[in-house]
Amino acid sequence: MYTIKAYLLDLKSDYHVHSNYNDHSSKELSIEKVTRYAEQINLSTLAFTEHVRKTSDWIPKYLEEIDRIHSSGTKINIISGFEAKILKDGTVDFPEGYEGYFLIASFHTTYYDKQIWLSALKSTISLPYVKVIGHLAPEGSFELTDNELIELSKLLNENTKTVELNAKYRRPPMRWLQIFKNNNVNFHLGSDAHQLAEVGNFNSIANLIEFINN
């Protein structure tokens, strides 16, 4: 079961790993190979968070495979989960019936409008089944003010949401982290791995980790 963890950031836990159930990850990224690799690098927690849509039909097979590997004797705490896209109306592209699973909500569409983006994010943060906000950063056309980030911090805390430090995109921006940290937002690490060697690899965000852990 996923539980929110306080500081310090746990370098042996990766809460955002993909698999070959999508069409753009390495084909070697099977559930079993990822788990065995995670064992080799001494991870303690591994969250599979495959991209999902409301129309995804592979979910039962995916969950069954994770359960099978988890019950095969591994010492790693394996979490079954998903990553879903934040939609314009503040909902997420996520099928009904799986709300009890670990869910990362992330922007994968550019809206070119700060108010639409901000309203969608706030609505998503309020969804009870969303656990984490993934690779959070502004679009290139706008920035958030300090007061807007403080407001987001309060909303994240009120809804017990975690903000991911994402190694693939090197997010959130440092200024956002400073304000979030000052307002006691919870963080964890996600590699956003799409290749085997990326699992548990947080070298790209060493500066962000150092800031949070100090």
Local confidence band at 24 (pLDDT 50, 70, 90 cut-offs):
confident
- DSSP assignment, residue 33? H
CA distance to 110, 132, 135, 198, per residue, from 121 (Å)? 13, 12, 12, 27
pLDDT of 72: 87
Local confidence band at 7 (pLDDT 50, 70, 90 cut-offs):
low
What are 53-85's pLDDT values in tens digits?
A: 999 999 999 999 999 998 988 999 999 999 999
CA distance to 54, 59, 74, per residue, from 97 (Å)? 10, 11, 27
Q: Which helix (H) or strand (E) holds 193?
A: none
pLDDT of 96: 96
Q: Is the pLDDT of residue 6 over 90?
A: no
Mean pLDDT of the region 111-116: 97
What are 117-165's pLDDT values in tens digits?
A: 999 999 999 999 999 999 999 999 999 999 999 999 999 999 999 999 9
pLDDT of 3: 43
| Predicted TM-score of the model (pTM) | 0.95
Whole-number mean pLDDT of the chain?
94
**88 CB neighbour count, 10 Å cutoff:** 13
pLDDT of 5: 42
> CATH homologous superfamily for 13-213?
Metal-dependent hydrolases (3.20.20.140)
Give Cβ neighbours of residue 131 (< 8 Å, ≥ 6 apart). 2, 81, 102, 103, 104, 161, 162
pLDDT of 45: 98
- What SS3 class is residue 182? helix
Q: Is the pLDDT of residue 1 over 60?
A: no
* Cβ neighbourhood burial of 27 (10 Å; 0-12, 13-18, 19+): exposed
**Strand order through the sheet with 13-17:** 13-17, 45-52, 77-85, 102-106, 132-133, 162-166, 186-190
